[in-house]
Structure 1
């Protein structure tokens, strides 16, 4: 049966990831056919760099798709079926501050974990809420697939502030790790893995992995992770590991695994469980934001300009991104009722039996035209439960701080974070973050 063509707007059209999403969408026209593809961004200059190249790509490879790039919300959000949102409020310059300010005080500097993640969350909340409001005003039947970071804080904010919105919060990091696992185990694709996983965004554990024939993959995987972490992906040329920081993160998984060898971990747990290691191996003058600006951003924008200047993408180095594959599968499941099993960030409601129902957790869900149905992961052990409850409280306090414009709540959030050693240090970091974010945060009192 022929599939109905969809209309999609990519919110964050100027992102370095956008061209990869376009390539993935074009390559999957058999699974997720498009009639219209729109870009929306409030940074017109940045979006134009990407849009001019993508216009060439669409014209060459899928000329039947109407392509529009705009900074006008009404034009962008009218007559669309899906919003694919990946915005970065404040851009990479603010990410750099998120990372470098905590490091000055000997605290993890990272875009989604610790104080930097909270600072980013305070900026992201109004940006994502604005996108929801545009969608509901101009295309009320559309779905928003949001992978704007920090996903857990954004998910908690949308749960509270827009509880009836058709939004699904997602992250591609577990998919990227599973791609590495597939390489480790000699599988053709991560889609061959059927898993059980629980936690929060960038904060979770796998308990089971089987192949489609029902063979248990965990014994072989654990043996490898114990020795090497997920690092074999580097030998396969995994694009995620182009920068040194990712190599270290994948290798460090072996030490995270050692704390609980009954499970295998999300790589981001290193920031919470080995924060002293992370800080001691960080360069406070050259962080991940600098890596991105000097590598991915320069390379992607240079290639986009080259494609636009040549008016041809026949030899382009732009490729379909890993995160794009995940979002296309999710959109297709919602549009065509394919009942995919996918990891999503959703309201707990009993999925983790011994965790509060209103926690925003990351668990496997079945996705269909009806939306998503979380699978029950049962009760979890004390170690993971304690860590998750602490981090959930941090995320809720951040949203409290945003809603109430409360200095006290945000100080409490930083103090409670496992990455911060004391209330004194938390206050020092907070005061400097407030100064840096005057343009973006509400005034706290």
Structure 2
């Protein structure tokens, strides 16, 4: 790889971007970035400029020789890139609000990456991602695509299934957040902790925990089991870990405690406090902070946005590929037998050895038996969703909708599907002429 690294961020006007800048600066000694391109769309131009100015101030304060470029035309930015990070949201926060509100109107959980909301975020996002991949193949075919765009597993799988571009890795901040939570529980530095992860994105399980290379899983589960709710891993209950002999991720609650979560979300919806509404308010406050000409650091308020440890995970991964480190990290990649009960050509979230040739999945055996059926069902849902996004098939979208365990019946699923297709039609060109057929 050439001297100096060029990183392009698609969705550069995101409120998450200061996290990324901080991560790049913290690892500059091992990842010599010379060019950073922040790319966004025309409606996001104002936010892009605010973020770009903050990035330049942060870099100037560091003293590192990194050039920051802003672009609306992604093709201008992609030429000669080494790494592309995707963190975009098709339809912006208004689309997220619809993803949450419409299912709730029908008595179904509305959530960004789960249930009907996850389906529609995928339907909007996958065609845009595949268009981006065409440009990458033309302009920087050797580059690595690090996908942070949700639903991460579904979107990453679409690239593997629907293109011949294989330099793609999906990344989520949930596993690193779980590791950090365990480190706090054990009162040790995160660098001493490693976990073995098995599952799919947002339904992943820590099947072992190592402290200085020695398994301490039983000790961790015992500690978790003596607390009703472990504060450092949101929504993870100790008894659940004991039952599974593994540590579930926070998204387990949407399925394990579906009725309780739905009741709480309905209350928030009725009071105008859905997560989309909260995030919109946070975004406004963050960008007011970002505008300050004296701000030259990542403000601590960004952690409320939900992107904690994103920069650490993203830049750690990029550095490991660039430096051919051969360390172990949890990422989304092709299964290839790493999990016995899931298709070999599907995308899974597992611990992998990270090399200059990308992640090499570690063979883990299987998912905990108590949740195997759930994960398999969600994997089928993801596969159907990818097919629907690419083909624009109403019938396939309906199959995906009703396959999701959060949707109670075909009748309810069809009502939600029809309303959401209409609400999102501006961002669903593959479906536009197919609604109602």
> Counterparts of 1:147-162 in structure 2 under 5 Å?
147-162=148-163
The equivalent residue for 1:243 is: none
Q: CA deviation at 1:26?
A: 1.1
Among 303, 312, 333, the residue aligned to 1:325? 312
Within 2, Cα distance between the matches of 1:421 and 1:53?
46
**Do the aligned partners of 2:244 and 2:368 also contact (CA within 8 Å) in 1?**
no
Among 326, 339, 346, the residue aligned to 1:352? 339
The equivalent residue for 2:171 is: 170
Q: CA deviation at 1:175?
A: 0.7
Q: CA deviation at 1:433?
A: 0.6
> Counterparts of 1:23-422 in structure 2 under 5 Å?
23-42=22-41, 43-189=44-190, 191-214=191-214, 216-228=215-227, 231-233=230-232, 250-254=234-238, 256-257=240-241, 260-282=243-265, 283-284=268-269, 285-295=272-282, 297-307=283-293, 310=294, 313=296, 322-422=309-409
**Do the aligned partners of 1:184 and 1:232 also contact (CA within 8 Å) in 2?**
no
Q: Does the C-alpha gap of structure 1 residues 132 and 314 become closer, same or farther in structure 2, counting only changes over 3 Å? A: closer
**Do the aligned partners of 1:199 and 1:388 also contact (CA within 8 Å) in 2?**
yes
**Do the aligned partners of 2:75 and 2:135 also contact (CA within 8 Å) in 1?**
yes
Q: CA RMSD in A?
A: 2.0
Q: CA deviation at 1:74?
A: 2.6
> Counterparts of 1:13-24 in structure 2 under 5 Å?
13-24=12-23
Offset from partner CA, 1:375-416 (integer Å, 9 cap, x none): 001134443321121111111111121222111111111111
The equivalent residue for 1:236 is: none
Q: Given the two structures, how large is their TM-score scaled by the length of structure 1?
A: 0.90
Q: CA deviation at 1:427?
A: 0.8
Q: Given the two structures, how large is their TM-score scaled by the length of structure 2?
A: 0.91
Alignment partner of 2:401: what SS?
helix
Alignment partner of 1:10: what SS?
strand
Q: CA deviation at 1:314?
A: 6.8
Aligned structure 1 segments of 4 or more residues deviating by more than 6 angstroms:
none
**Do the aligned partners of 2:193 and 2:210 also contact (CA within 8 Å) in 1?**
yes
Within 2, Cα distance between the matches of 1:397 and 1:315?
39
Offset from partner CA, 1:201-257 (integer Å, 9 cap, x none): 00021111111241x322232123224366333xxxxxxxxxxxxxxx814534643
Within 1, Cα distance between the matches of 2:297 and 2:237?
39
Q: CA deviation at 1:368?
A: 0.8
**Do the aligned partners of 1:19 and 1:318 also contact (CA within 8 Å) in 2?**
no
Unaligned runs of 5+ in 2: none
Q: CA deviation at 1:176?
A: 1.0
Q: How many equivalent pairs are there? A: 421
Alignment partner of 1:24: what SS?
helix
Unaligned runs of 5+ in 1: 234-248
Q: CA deviation at 1:120?
A: 0.4
Within 2, Cα distance between the matches of 1:367 and 1:294?
38
Matched, 1:8 2:15: no
Within 1, Cα distance between the matches of 2:408 and 2:299?
47
Within 2, Cα distance between the matches of 1:316 and 1:199?
33
Within 2, Cα distance between the matches of 1:58 and 1:415?
48
Alignment partner of 1:363: what SS?
strand
Alignment partner of 1:372: what SS?
strand
